[in-house]
Structure formats: structure tokens, C-alpha cells
Amino acid sequence: MEKQLQSQIIKWLKAKGCYVIKHGAVAGVPSGCPDISAYYDGAVIFIEVKASLKAKYQPLQKETLAKLKDWFEFVYVVAPENWPEIQVELEHQFF
């Protein structure tokens, strides 16, 4: 479910003209890094994708998301139950 939603979000962002990077647990990617970063017209969007809003976070995820929210305006935790409203928010904000 999470990977399917992640793919759907990436496809949607690319269709809107964003440059999108999918971050995975590989060498060089810091622990806690959100799953997706997208870049559009000078803005940076970070998205952590969860199977559910009740899903547990990996170590450092909450800390990393909190830091990013301090530094950037557009940081989201997205799950199937809130993706439609996040989509609308992004649509109004950027597209």
C-alpha cells in the first residue's frame, strides 16, 4: 500500500512539472530522510509516505521531519486517508 501510494504521488508530482527524487535507504541518504523530495518553481516539498496515519515512524524520522518543518514550509506526512486533501493543498499552493 505504501509503495503504491508513493508511486502515485511521484507520478502526480511529475505530471505537474516537479523535479522529483525518491529517497531510499541506501548509502548517502541520511537516516530519517523523507521518502520524496520535489522541486517546483523555487520551492522544495518533502513528503514522508506512510501506509496509514497511525503507522509507526522509523528512528530519526520524527526528528528529521521536525527539523525540516523548521527550515522549509512544505513538509508533509501523507497516507491514503489524507492524500486527497494534501493534493488539493498542493494544487492551490503551486499549480
Position 32 in a domain? yes
Position 57 in a domain? yes
Position 95 in a domain? no
Predicted local confidence at residue 33, as pLDDT:
84
Dihedral, CA atoms, 30, 15, 79, 68, nearest 10 degrees? 40
Write the pLDDT tens digit of every residue in 11-22.
999 999 999 999
- Side-chain half-sphere CA neighbours of 79 within 13 A: 9
Position 94 in a domain? no
pTM (2 decimals)? 0.90
Predicted local confidence at residue 28, as pLDDT:
61
CATH for 7: 3.40.1350.10
User: Could you say which residues of the chain have pLDDT below 50?
Assistant: none
Give every CB contact of residue 35 below 8 A, 6+ residues apart in sequence: 6, 22, 23, 47, 48, 49
Among 48, 43, 36, which residue's Cα sits nearest to residue 12? 36
Residue range of the domain that includes 59: 2-87
Position 8 in a domain? yes
Position 92 in a domain? no
If one counts the domains in the chain, the total is 1
